Amino acid sequence: MEPVSINEKNHNNEGILLSEEEQEKRKKKEELWAKKKYICQVKLIDIKTGKNIVVLNEEEAEENDIYNGYRIMLRHDGNELVSLVDLSTEMVKRGEIGIFRDVADKLDAKDGELLHIRHMEKPASIDFIKKKLDGESLTSKQMSTIIHELMKNRLSEGVLASFIAAVYTRGIGEDETVALTEAIVDSGEKLDLGVGPVADKHCIGGVAGNRTTMVVVPIIAASGIYMPKTSSRAITSAAGTSDTMEVLADVDFNIPELKEIVLKSKGAMVWGGATNIATADDKLIKLRHPLSLDPRGMLLASILAKKSAVGAKYAVIDIPIGRGAKILDMPMAETLGGDFINIGKRMGMTIESLITDGAEPVGNGIGCGLECRDVMHVLQGKGPDDLRNKSTLIAGRILELVGKVPEGHGRDMSELLLSNGGAWGKMKEIIELQGGNPNVKEDDLPIGQYKHTIKAERSGKISHIDNKGVNKIARAAGAPRDKGAGIYLHRLKGDKVKHGDVLFDIFAESETKLDFAIKAVDVWQPVELEKFLLGTMR
């Protein structure tokens, strides 16, 4: 949204004569200006907001059919700029326009000068979103137009929320999902390694401590397959892969930097947000947030776009199911898993969907530093068993998918790469390339100095450990921002405990946060012992 000089009618900014088509475009633009505009006097608000925002008088704007959150086109001398509208009853009077420093600079407009205002042409997306609300299918072009206008900041929050609601209530078909995926890929940068094979993995999420990525990537890279893994940060959980990897190394890299790392080590674990891949997806996720809407087609597009953007041709999708997981039962998981395979195929990817037991946390540590310790133990050929087993399962399937080993041999190969030090060596290589200390020791990991132990209040067998409760307590203790905050589970599901046995420790970096976490234990009671009497009536 840089200003465009329109002083020279048939020439561009460098004085070069425009093509007839360009001249026609410019003429149409001038007609738009002639048709509908009003003029306001600048009231400069000398603050930088980092956004193109103007404040209009509410009454006057609405008379001109301009509402809160609309986009309008501004013109001053030869400069044009799209701006977001905020309305005010007091701040600006009729005939005035409040502009912040950012807009003033871009338009070169000074206090008291005049600005021309006109409506933006109605975004084409409006009609397409209406069509989707009416239950019709969108063409690829229509779907990509919506994502394009989203990226150009041309759609208001309300219009975008309507789009999410439309996809949620009406669903999108296979063609529409492919179009959405491709549009999301095109919205951001892409990684083109120029070599292969490139593999990837993804977990639908919801399982505490589930840090398989940090085990899988070193195994796969050690086997000679490229795995440029981008991950997210925690939103509602105690730690995301990026938050956890950050304990050992930097995770903020742009695409050229990522390429350099991966061409050297074959593997990388970076934060997707810094790479600018699939940028439309970040916006879509924020839009889905308030109502926690997660329309299946968008979930598919979101995940597969990130795989496609890094050039992956093979991917394993981990779909945890069970009590407290995002996907509740086998039929739902099978439908979703099948969709991944179909849409993946359309995107040129070979995909395997793994449906896993997601009812309990994986590993003993929950929280960045503690999860990192589990990962390090596994990479060094030790436990925790569940993290190790799940990781070698996933890595094994990737090896088979790519054809690196025959069917049925992937897991053994993965175990070998753990036990022979290959994976740990590769991890150290990746840590160093990502700016960390490759000689990191277990004692270097941040573990909160404030600790509280939760003990069993009676004897019995642990029947369930609740992912959500565990996450809430770890977050109350400071995770994921405090790298040393979290929970260490000393006993897992199926273990028999006696009254007074340690169930788990809470770690925090401050006493206050430790107190918050202790209070959260009362609320969430994450460890359940087997009960035989479930209720009584008389």
450 DSSP 8-state letter: E
Considering the complex, state which of residue 132 and residue 388 has its C-beta at the smaller distance from its own copies. Answer: 132
Closest CA to 234 of 268, 271, 280: 271
Query: Among 120, 133, 151, 529, which residue interacts with its own copies (rule: CB under 8 A)?
Result: 133
How far is residue 28's CA from residue 88's CA, in Å, rounded to a whole number? Answer: 32
Residue found under tokens 């206008």? 149
Cβ at position 55, least distance to its own copies in Å: 8
Closest CA to 195 of 228, 231, 229, 222: 228
Query: Got the DSSP string for 339-352?
Result: HHHHHHHHTT-EEE
Closest CA to 435 of 266, 264, 248: 248
Cβ at position 520, least distance to its own copies in Å: 9
Query: Among 142, 145, 162, 231, which residue interacts with its own copies (rule: CB under 8 A)?
Result: 162
CB of 456 closer than 8 Å to CB of 500: yes
CB of 373 closer than 8 Å to CB of 445: yes
Cβ at position 90, least distance to its own copies in Å: 4
Q: According to the binding rule CB under 8 A, does residue 449 interact with its own copies?
A: no
Q: According to the binding rule CB under 8 A, does residue 161 interact with its own copies?
A: yes
Query: Got the DSSP string for 379-431?
Result: HTT---HHHHHHHHHHHHHHHHHHTSS-TT-HHHHHHHHHHTSHHHHHHHHHH
Considering the complex, state which of residue 51 and residue 141 has its C-beta at the smaller distance from its own copies. Answer: 51
Which of the stretches 8-16, 64-72, 334-342, 391-399 binds its own copies when contact is defined by CB under 8 A?
64-72
Active-site residue among 186, 252, 282, 294?
294
Which of the stretches 129-137, 143-151, 186-194, 373-381 binds its own copies when contact is defined by CB under 8 A?
129-137
How far is residue 303's CA from residue 202's CA, in Å, rounded to a whole number? Answer: 8
Residues 504-523 that bind its own copies (CB under 8 A): 516
Q: How many residues does the chain have?
A: 538
Which of the stretches 42-50, 296-304, 390-398, 411-419 binds its own copies when contact is defined by CB under 8 A?
42-50
How far is residue 400's CA from residue 221's CA, in Å, rounded to a whole number? Answer: 14
Q: According to the binding rule CB under 8 A, does residue 416 interact with its own copies?
A: no
Query: Got the DSSP string for 308-362?
Result: HHTT-SEEEEEEEESTTSSB-SHHHHHHHHHHHHHHHHHTT-EEEEEEEE-SS-S
- Contacts of residue 179, defined as CB under 8 A and 6 or more positions apart, other chains included, come to 138, 139, 140, 143, 144
Q: According to the binding rule CB under 8 A, does residue 94 interact with its own copies?
A: no
Residue found under tokens 């970096």? 509
Q: According to the binding rule CB under 8 A, does residue 50 interact with its own copies?
A: yes
Closest CA to 219 of 109, 381, 357, 442: 381
What SS3 state is found at 74?
A: strand
Q: How many CB atoms lie within 10 A of CB 417?
A: 24
Q: According to the binding rule CB under 8 A, does residue 157 interact with its own copies?
A: yes
Q: According to the binding rule CB under 8 A, does residue 156 interact with its own copies?
A: yes
- Positive or negative, the CA dihedral 279, 282, 283, 284 is positive
Q: According to the binding rule CB under 8 A, does residue 130 interact with its own copies?
A: yes
Query: Among 85, 159, 284, 423, which residue interacts with its own copies (rule: CB under 8 A)?
Result: 159
CB of 227 closer than 8 Å to CB of 217: yes
Q: According to the binding rule CB under 8 A, does residue 145 interact with its own copies?
A: no
Q: According to the binding rule CB under 8 A, does residue 524 interact with its own copies?
A: no
Reported as type and span, the H/E element at residue 305 is: helix 296-309
Cβ at position 2, least distance to its own copies in Å: 17
Cβ at position 70, least distance to its own copies in Å: 8
Cβ at position 473, least distance to its own copies in Å: 13
Cβ at position 20, least distance to its own copies in Å: 23
Q: According to the binding rule CB under 8 A, does residue 97 interact with its own copies?
A: no
Cβ at position 290, least distance to its own copies in Å: 5
Q: According to the binding rule CB under 8 A, does residue 47 interact with its own copies?
A: yes
Q: According to the binding rule CB under 8 A, does residue 368 interact with its own copies?
A: no
Query: Among 89, 441, 532, 538, which residue interacts with its own copies (rule: CB under 8 A)?
Result: 89
How far is residue 517's CA from residue 475's CA, in Å, rounded to a whole number? Answer: 8
Q: According to the binding rule CB under 8 A, does residue 164 interact with its own copies?
A: yes
Q: According to the binding rule CB under 8 A, does residue 525 interact with its own copies?
A: no
Cβ at position 131, least distance to its own copies in Å: 11
Query: Among 20, 21, 90, 443, which residue interacts with its own copies (rule: CB under 8 A)?
Result: 90
Encoding tokens for residue 196? 């292969």
Query: How does 305-328 read in b/e, with b if 16+ C-beta sit within 10 Å?
Result: bbbbbbbbbbbbbbbbbbebbbbe
Considering the complex, state which of residue 160 and residue 203 has its C-beta at the smaller distance from its own copies. Answer: 160
Encoding tokens for residue 50? 């980092």
- Contacts of residue 59, defined as CB under 8 A and 6 or more positions apart, other chains included, come to 89, 94
Cβ at position 467, least distance to its own copies in Å: 18
Strands 38-45, 199-203: pairing is: unpaired
Considering the complex, state which of residue 98 and residue 448 has its C-beta at the smaller distance from its own copies. Answer: 98
Considering the complex, state which of residue 66 and residue 305 has its C-beta at the smaller distance from its own copies. Answer: 66
Considering the complex, state which of residue 8 and residue 102 has its C-beta at the smaller distance from its own copies. Answer: 102
Determine whether 294 is an active site residue.
yes
Residues 180-209 that bind its own copies (CB under 8 A): none
Q: According to the binding rule CB under 8 A, does residue 51 interact with its own copies?
A: yes
Q: According to the binding rule CB under 8 A, does residue 30 interact with its own copies?
A: no
Q: How many residues bind its own copies (CB under 8 A)?
A: 48
Q: Which residues are catalytic?
A: 294
* Residue numbers at the binding site for its own copies (CB under 8 A): 35, 45, 47-51, 55, 58, 63, 65, 67-69, 88-91, 98, 102, 126, 129-130, 133, 135, 156-162, 164-166, 168-170, 235, 286-287, 289-293, 481, 516
